[in-house]
Every structure is written in C-alpha cells, then in structure tokens.
Amino acid sequence: MMTLIGVAISVAYLYSSSVVFLIPGGMFFWELATLIDVMLLEHRIEMKTAAGAFKALELLAKSIPTVAHVVRNGEMVDVPVSEVKPGDRVLVRPGEKNSC
C-alpha cells in the first residue's frame, strides 16, 4: 500500500514539475498536498490505534495468574502455572483474579 502511495506522490510531483518548467498541461500540486496530508493523518491514526492495542495486551498479560488451584487426589493444591499438565483438574473460582 505504501509503495502505491509513494509511486502516486512521485508521479504527481514529477509531472507537475514538468508542467511548470517544460510541457503544457495541468498541475497537480493541490492534489499532491492533499494526498500527503491524508496519508499522514491515516498513519497517525493507525499508530495511535496500535499503541492502544499494545497497552490493552500489556494489561491482559498482567492479569494472567501465576498460581493455579489444581485438584490432586481429592485435595486442592496451589502450584505454579508452569507445572500444570494436560489432564490436571484446575479449580477456577467465580470472580477470581490474580491475587495469589
């Protein structure tokens, strides 16, 4: 996408400069300036959105618990999340947050 916009900006500038100095025709400086402004605005909005998404993912990663309540042999045992194996029964209490 940026390659297409870069080519459009370059062609519009070169053609308009040629019209000023060499050949007769219509100039596109106003359209060129508008295209550049729109692309800069779009880039700013995109970067602001990406930064917001990154912050949301950081907050989500912080909410991941470090301790799991695993039921083994009929008893609940608190173990680090890294030690939970496939097939383990994990107890998740309603409204539980990363408080451990």
Q: What does the pLDDT look like over 43-90, one tens digit per residue?
A: 999 999 999 999 999 998 888 888 889 998 888 889 998 888 898 899
pTM for this structure?
Answer: 0.56
Mean of the pLDDT values across residues 21-40?
Answer: 87
What per-residue confidence (pLDDT) applies to 61? 85
Residue 18 falls inside a structural domain: yes
Residue 6 falls inside a structural domain: yes
Residues 35, 5 contacting (CB under 8 angstroms): yes
The range of the structural domain enclosing residue 43 comes to 2-62
DSSP E strands, 18-92: 67-72, 75-80, 89-91
What per-residue confidence (pLDDT) applies to 6? 84
What per-residue confidence (pLDDT) applies to 11? 87
Residues 98, 92 contacting (CB under 8 angstroms): no
DSSP three-state, residue 3: helix
What per-residue confidence (pLDDT) applies to 37? 92
What per-residue confidence (pLDDT) applies to 27? 81
Mean model confidence pLDDT for the chain: 87
Question: What total of structural domains would you count in the chain?
Answer: 1
Distance CA 65, CA 93 (A): 13
72 pairs with which residues across the strands? 75
What per-residue confidence (pLDDT) applies to 47? 95
H or E segment at 19?
helix 2-21
Residue 51 falls inside a structural domain: yes
The strand order across the sheet containing 75-80 reads: 75-80, 67-72, 89-91
Residue 7 falls inside a structural domain: yes
Residues 6+ apart with CB under 8 A from 24: none
What per-residue confidence (pLDDT) applies to 53? 96
